[in-house]
Amino acid sequence: MLSFVIPCYRSEHTVGVVVEEILQTVAIRPEETCEIILVNDGSPDHTADAIKALAAEHPEVVAVDLSRNFGQHSALMAGFHQVQGDIIICLDDDGQTPACECFKLIDKVNEGNDIVFAEYGERKQSAFRNLGSKFNAACNHFFFAQPKELKANSYFACRRFVVDSALQYPNPFPYVTGLLFQSVGTYANVRVEHKERMEGSSGYNLKKLIGLWLNGVTAFSIKPLRLASYLGWIVAAVGFLFAIVTVIRKILDPAMQAGWASTVSLIMFMGGLIIGLIGIVGEYIGRIYLSINRYPQFVVREVVRTEGQLPNVQPAATEETAATDDSAVGA
């Protein structure tokens, strides 16, 4: 079985088109069955009603309604908790990730790869988003050891064990890319077309992109702390050398006056550096505090699925029947 996981936000008019495209594509291969897990991430429009209607109309669709907006990666984790398939495919709700080309990724997984990401020849998005994508790729390589030749994005297919491994992460603010790379051994890219958005604009602004980057870095890497330590030693060494030079100059020229401007500049530089490094440590301490207090990854208000839609579901899972209200908290 194939499991499609789609986080949904402000997509009441587009998610139905994406679902139809998936169903038509999978129907080309009668030997394949699928489920489509739609996760409403606290969308302020009528996306929740739209995905529930799709679940009532199509037995393949599972609608997961989160209690509020937790972010795309938390929504993905909520969807991962519902999957039943052997291969999981993640894509967007705006039509930019072509569902009609999903078998390119799936076939590449079946060739022996643990995870396969789509690769776009031309990204049809703003220059700001393109710049953010390049910065994110550089950070993934530096902090998470993502191979330079691999292009990671939100459209990918992976084996079930990769998702099961990611679900072992119990803390808030998950960064799915980092979680996936903790377990994969083989990977690949396949070229697909990046489509225009059907409507609206990206839900990621500068603030959200920075927050996502901080989540990934502080959750899966200690390199910022290590860099802070290195920087501290370098600045200390420079300060020591500067002090030696100043003493020598004073010995050679007793009439030399200490420069007020240089002293103030040095104090401001050191003060700013110390505050910045304390801020890095504070980010880590804040994450630890939230984890200790079991801040949830997500909270599920309701799960809607059609009775009997998943023939291979274990008995405990089949208790979520048609129009059943299930409340759950992500660990």
Angstrom distance (rounded) from CA 227 to CA 307 = 53
Closest CA to 3 of 181, 164, 175: 164
- Alpha-carbon torsion, ordered 182, 183, 188, 193, to 10 deg: -70
Model pLDDT, residue 301: 94
Helices (H), the chain: 15-27, 47-57, 72-80, 102-110, 127-144, 160-166, 176-181, 206-220, 223-252, 260-292
Q: How far apart are the first and last CA of the chain?
A: 26
- Which one, of 146, 162, 155, lies nearest residue 123 by Cα? 155
pLDDT at 125: 60
Does residue 93 contact residue 17 with C-beta atoms inside 8 Å? no
| Other beta carbons less than 10 A from residue 290's beta carbon | 14
As a whole number of angstroms, the distance between CA 6 and CA 37 comes to 6
Q: How far apart are CA 127 and CA 94, in angstroms?
A: 18
CA dist 162 → 119, 179, 184 (Å)? 20, 9, 7
β pairing state of 87-90 and 156-159: antiparallel
- List beta partners, residue 328: 300
Question: Which long-range CB contacts under 8 A does 16-23 form with residues at least 24 apart?
Answer: 16/50, 16/54, 17/95, 17/198, 18/91, 18/92, 18/93, 18/94, 18/95, 18/99, 19/54, 19/58, 19/61, 21/95, 21/98, 21/99, 21/100, 22/99, 22/102, 23/58, 23/60
| CA-based nearest residue to 14, from 49, 50, 56 | 50
Q: Which two tokens stand for residue 28?
A: 């080309």
Residue 155's closest CA among 14, 5, 32? 5
- The pLDDT averaged over each successive group of 10 residues in the chain (331 residues) is 96 95 95 96 95 95 95 93 96 92 96 94 62 64 71 92 93 84 90 80 59 62 70 74 74 69 68 77 74 83 76 35 45 52
Q: Tell me the per-residue pLDDT of 188-204, one tens digit each, with 9 for 90 and over.
A: 999 998 888 777 555 55
For the stretch 280-320, pLDDT in tens is: 787 777 777 667 777 888 999 999 988 655 433 333 333 33
* Sheet containing strand 115-120, strands side by side: 187-192, 115-120, 156-159, 87-90, 2-8, 34-40, 61-66, 299-304, 328-329
208 token code pair: 């959200």
Instruction: List the structure tokens of 328.
Output: 């759950």
Collapsing DSSP to helix, strand or coil, 319 comes out as: helix
Cα separation, 17 vs 167, in Å, equals: 29
Q: What is the pLDDT of residue 314?
A: 35
Please give the share of the chain, as a percent, with pLDDT higher than 90: 43
| Predicted local confidence at residue 267, as pLDDT | 75
pTM comes to 0.72
pLDDT at 130: 59
210, two tokens? 């920075």
Predicted local confidence at residue 222, as pLDDT: 64
